[in-house]
Amino acid sequence: MKKIYGVIGDPIEHSLSPIMHNAAFRQLGMECEYHAFRVTLENVASAILGAKALGFGGLNVTIPLKEMVLDVVDADPLAKKIGAVNTIDFKDGIIGYNTDGVGAKHALEKHGIDVADKRVLLLGSGGAARAIAFQLAKDGATLIIANRTVPRAAKLAQEVRSIGDAIGTGLDELAMLIKKVDILVNSTSVGMRPRMDETLVTADLMHPSLVVFDIVYNPIETRLLREAKKAGAPTVDGVDMLVHQGAESFKIWMGRDAPIDVMEAAVRCALKC
């Protein structure tokens, strides 16, 4: 009998997690299947408890449920600090983790980028931003968190200062801030399909030594990344983070490394084909 895994969220039709994880299962000859399940906010507790009762191996969690599931799972310390869960494991109860931050870290490392002692401008203060902020601060980066709503950025920065160096600000000073940083990370949905012509930063604001990382993965090459290439700046796309956070979930569930190259190829094919 196949072990079932899945991702819950609302909406969920856009998720590439089933393509990514099923490619991994096939590559390793595992008797497992991964599916996407639309779950509304009011049904999240029932869905998680039902999955546990039905013998699921684990779940991923996407928007808008990442914060809600904290009331249902036994979250590990990092997920508690972040305030969001994106991975649930059922082996020893209902344990919640957050792999978004480490996924971002490994995406940068794949391109030879070490964030220690680097100045990072993080755009956004939502669930993904929180995970990235805590991870990069833990790894020694100095963070500037810029958000449309300044109090949200300030609040996140205050929380992050429990483990590292961070300040919060608005978006009106981006031109000045970008000149002072080594890495720019877009953790907002700006530039995501279907609004692919949008960007918060254009080439005229960038410098060639700036690393530009956009966690948006659909399209693979966002306008932000096109602007970065125009400025001669190195880029990291959102597929890298998607795959590496998924690989961390796989490792939590299976206790073994995931075939990352296979997972990445499946996602890139799905987006280009």
pLDDT digits (tens, 9 = 90+) for 13-64: 989 999 999 999 999 999 999 999 999 999 999 999 999 999 999 999 998 8
Q: Which residues of 186-208 are buried (b: 16+ CB within 10 A; e: fewer)?
A: bbbebbbeeeeeebbbbeebbee
Q: Residue ranges per domain, the chain?
A: 3-98+240-272, 101-236
How far, in Å, CA of 160 to CA of 176, rounded? 23
Q: Which of 66, 81, 105, 118 is catalytic?
A: 66
The SS3 call for residue 221 is coil
pLDDT given for residue 193 in this prediction: 87
pTM of the model: 0.93
User: In this structure, are residues 17 and 34 in contact, taking their beta carbons and an 8 Å threshold?
Assistant: yes
Q: Which fold has domain 101-236?
A: Rossmann fold (3.40.50)
pLDDT bucket at 103, cuts 50 / 70 / 90:
very high
pLDDT given for residue 228 in this prediction: 98
Q: What percent of the chain has pLDDT over 90?
A: 95
Instruction: Give the chain's length.
Output: 273
How far, in Å, CA of 153 to CA of 156, rounded? 5
Residue-wise pLDDT tens digits, 200-238? 999 999 999 999 999 999 999 999 999 999 999 999 999
66 is a catalytic site residue: yes
Q: 208 preceded by cis ω (within 30°)?
A: no
Q: Which fold has domain 3-98+240-272?
A: Rossmann fold (3.40.50)
The SS3 call for residue 140 is coil
